[in-house]
Chains A and B, each alone.
Chain A
């Protein structure tokens, strides 16, 4: 364990701020912050960190925010920060980390996730996109779907089949794909909300240098599990103050609009508030539990509750608004970098929340994971192994 303390880190930030003007060049400032190990303090030195306990990150972030320093706009690169980075840190080589981590963290390069395919969603390991070795390159052909941010991304984490003869979990390899490479075609895919956060991605003869392979050939599934576990913590696991999430929107509405109140909805608002606070404390406890390590399958609980709550609360808000909620703000097809949950109408929140129990592993799949990996219940008999 390192000997870093909250006070020590505050001192490091103060010293950093004496050398770097937070009001100066934004990118230069963020790059320097990464180089100083103050990006992800729990990462090893050289990879944006100091090897400090993970929970001290909030101390560092708060100290920078207090000084009015620019942040890396984490919500614009959620897949890079939440999924690609923890996977790279764990499985990539030094050279790969040097190339990718800093621009990922500063937001100069956005990332996306080329995992799901039309025929492989929950059963991800059945994916068919092929990667065939050709000299120092791999040549990739296939189709991916529901790829969030593909239209903004410079890089993608990609799971492809390298050995069709091997059992399905063993024939996969993990790559980093250059989204600007020839043969990558991105088409918007419109969703329930009318906008298109996600895309269809067609890969035709895309050449990926072998130097962009992560881990061993055939080890893609184990590495993808790191990505997926981090995804579940990234979705819904952010540290929040009380009423920091969707429940805050509902609570404020309840306070500001006595004219909307009814006895029955009061009961439901209180129940939702209680569950949201319980889920918030459980997420806090989980973060304390895994302060230094990798998230385990327990992270699935956080994602499961988050999805359930965001759906229940946004549904409740629509009902509470009653006639007002018959109006939606806008169905225009847009390409947002992130869902604008707080800036739009309750109807938007309600519709977007439906995706929460599908993206990052459906709620049914998460229950299977908890039952099998946490509780140790037997797997269902399956015909595909």
Chain B
């Protein structure tokens, strides 16, 4: 049966990640890094990799990983969402899923041992059923083309690039591979546009296998992003509840006004549902059963909930919530951009329509349909 709870190992993992983030990634530090123009926190990332072993969680034991599975990965993402920590974990997980699908054992071992940082070179907004970016192959084993708005691509890391009818491994070294930083809506998730100019490449999968690897990787991204969204939404709700309990106007806490209470009660209900949906998505990913359906459900539901949570957080903090020095905007920007990442809710509803047989009406041609 689908287990939608957190088991003891998962709770222990959550505790250690939360403690580490509380010590090393308080929002003040995140905001300062944003102000300094480079939010990516290398030291924090090293700690997560070395102390928690986050990159080895989803790698099977025989390839040097922990073999814990995606349910645990989801718990880490929830905590990372809760602290909007600027680390490239989501991208690492997506790439790991692609490597698993391709049976790239050597690379998996390197990922598990944190010797190699790998990212899938597709735009963050790419849905699991979308077409790959226009990168061309040749002459010889080289790639050329441009991929925009890629998250979590490490400088000098390894890129997995869908091109032609294959999936290729490319070392991100200049001048053949050039990163152009993007001014990102989500200030805590840096993006780059990547330009390939006859970049030397090695095929890791071709044909249907390559296509399946990319689809599975993006499905995992969509499914697991839901946990990050739950973490974002939980922070927004907790922080808002705390604030409206102590903020007084008209001689009483603003949290005693029913307009405020009911808005937060509705948000809590939605968050309760989003958590169940996110757990379901992670669980189905591990089970390898209904993973596509659960991922589409996750992004059709959890993205909008995170956005509403962040918007509510800003609104109920009043003027304070609209200021740069209050962290609410970090969560708003994270939430709104995750609602686009791996495909919008609308795109995932369309995927569900196919998966659960609720077909769209035929497009009217000439005469009105009804």
Which positions in A face B, CB cutoff 8 Å? 251, 254-255, 258-263, 266-267, 269-271, 273-275, 277-279, 281-282, 284-286, 288-289, 298, 301, 304-305, 364, 366-368, 370-372, 374-381
Contact = CB atoms under 8 A, between A and B. Distances in A.
A305 B353 contact: no
Contact of A261 (B265, B349, B361): B361
B241 A377 contact: yes
9 contacts: A255-B359, A260-B370, A270-B353, A368-B262, A374-B265, A376-B241, A376-B245, A377-B244, A380-B256
Contacts of A286: 272
A289 B4 CA distance: 9
Contacts of A267: 349
Interface residues of B, number: 45
B280 interface: yes
For the complex of A and B, 7 pairs with smallest distance between CB atoms: A371-B261, A261-B361, A285-B4, A370-B265, A281-B276, A367-B265, A285-B276
Contacts of B264: 371, 375, 377
A292 to B, nearest CB: 13
Nearest to B363: A263
A283 to B, nearest CB: 8
Contacts of A376: 241, 245
Given A274-B300, A274-B352, A376-B241, A282 B266 contact: no
Contacts of B3: 288
Which of B258, B349, B361 has the largest count of A CB atoms less than 10 A from its CB? B361
B256 A270 contact: no
A275 B274 CA distance: 10
Interface in B210-256: 241, 244-245, 252-253, 255-256
Interface of B: 2-5, 241, 244-245, 252-253, 255-258, 260-262, 264-266, 268-269, 272-277, 279-280, 297, 300-301, 349-350, 352-353, 356-362, 369-370
A304 B265 CA distance: 10
Contacts of B257: 380
A249 B255 CA distance: 40
Given A281-B276, A301-B268, A262 B352 contact: no
Given A285-B4, A377-B256, A378-B255, A273 B358 contact: yes
B268 A274 contact: no
A282 B271 CA distance: 10
Contacts of B244: 377
Contacts of A260: 370
Contact of B256 (A271, A305, A381): A381
Nearest to A287: B4
A285 B279 contact: yes
B345 to A, nearest CB: 8
Which of B276, B300, B358, B369 has the largest count of A CB atoms less than 10 A from its CB? B276
Given A270-B352, A377-B244, A380-B256, A371 B265 contact: yes
B272 A298 contact: yes
Given A266-B361, A269-B358, A305 B269 contact: yes
Given A262-B369, A370-B265, A375-B261, 4 more contacts: A267-B349, A275-B273, A371-B262, A381-B256
B280 to A, nearest CB: 5
Nearest to A269: B358
B246 to A, nearest CB: 10
A254 B359 CA distance: 8
A181 B203 CA distance: 85
Which of B253, B260, B268, B357 has the largest count of A CB atoms less than 10 A from its CB? B268
A317 to B, nearest CB: 14
Contacts of B357: 255
A284 B2 contact: yes
A195 to B, nearest CB: 31
Given A285-B276, A288-B5, A277 B297 contact: yes
Contacts of A364: 262
A288 B350 CA distance: 31
A381 B252 contact: yes
A282 B273 contact: yes
Given A284-B2, A375-B241, A378-B255, A367 B261 contact: yes
A90 to B, nearest CB: 24
A254 B356 CA distance: 12
A134 to B, nearest CB: 43
A149 to B, nearest CB: 29
Contact of B349 (A270, A298, A301): A270
Contacts of A367: 261-262, 265-266
Which of A279, A284, A371, A381 has the largest count of B CB atoms less than 10 A from its CB? A371
Nearest to A379: B256
Which of A251, A288, A372, A377 has the largest count of B CB atoms less than 10 A from its CB? A377
A274 B275 contact: no
B262 A278 contact: no
A285 B362 CA distance: 38
A262 B269 CA distance: 30
A282 B353 CA distance: 22
B370 A278 contact: no
A379 B262 CA distance: 12
Contacts of A263: 360-361
A301 B274 CA distance: 13
B272 A282 contact: yes
A270 B358 contact: yes
Contacts of A379: 256
Contacts of A285: 4-5, 272, 275-276, 279
A225 to B, nearest CB: 18
A344 B252 CA distance: 50
Contacts of B352: 270, 273-274
Nearest to A263: B361
